[in-house]
Structure 1
């Protein structure tokens, strides 16, 4: 038996995204590849705002090394979506996120993603320990259990 699909309440961080004209595909809904852009953008916006990640001049950046998504219901332009983010594993140099895409006000996810960031030294491109400010921000998103 598969695990129950997470709901909006399972995500400690939410950010609203406006869909764009170019997000729709020929079937009239947001193309599945765009969901990854939403997830990545919301995660990085959180790390910049809450963890002081400096994507332009910092010594450390996060690389997505794994991503996957389960799709349950379509969304389309024009519209808005809520992106939920939770941390399900916080390691030394990596973090595993679970992300959810929701229609505003709806408890059930239209899509659920999983992404892994590995933090690397910008000069060497080798994994490094997650900096303290970023770790503290990520710790706020850890889902209990």
Structure 2
């Protein structure tokens, strides 16, 4: 029987640091690795989560988020190259679209200026477990509107 090779989805083009508005830094830990000192995929997903939290780090936004929660409904990660311990990675995040109660986040994990993984996350803003309309001030902050008083 002839086997047909599985088709591979097309790769996304490499991301550049200037595409991102929010940044966080993570130190690689030995616990993030497998026996070959290779940083595992679960650690990369945790780094991305940390990066998404930077979206709401500004004190003004923190006050507006009181009683609200953000959940990820879909997370798609593409791994571009291996990462090895020790060292650190920078996580860039930017909001590319905001709907009524949801928003899309584009992210890149960078090591020494090279994008080692990229991701898109579909997030939903919730209050008491139900979708909640994104307030205008949070919307402006996430999209980088200079009239926002929240800053970055």
Q: Over aligned residue pairs, what C-alpha RMSD do you find?
A: 2.3
Larger Rg: 2
1:1-145 alignment to 2 at 5 Å?
3-49=12-58, 52-53=61-62, 58-104=66-112, 106=113, 108-121=114-127, 123=128, 125-140=129-144
Deviating above 3 A after TM superposition, structure 1's stretches of 4 or more consecutive aligned residues are none
Greater relative contact order, per chain length (Cα 8 Å cut-off, separation 6+): 1
**Equivalent pairs, count:** 136
Measured in 1, the distance between the counterparts of 2:120 and 2:108 equals: 9
**Does structure 1 conserve the Cα–Cα contact (< 8 Å) formed by 2:96 and 2:143?**
no
List alignment gaps of at least 5 residues for structure 1: none
Measured in 2, the distance between the counterparts of 1:51 and 1:71 equals: 34
TM-score (norm 2): 0.78
TM-score (norm 1): 0.82
List alignment gaps of at least 5 residues for structure 2: 1-9, 146-152
**Does structure 1 conserve the Cα–Cα contact (< 8 Å) formed by 2:90 and 2:110?**
yes
**Does structure 2 conserve the Cα–Cα contact (< 8 Å) formed by 1:23 and 1:31?**
yes
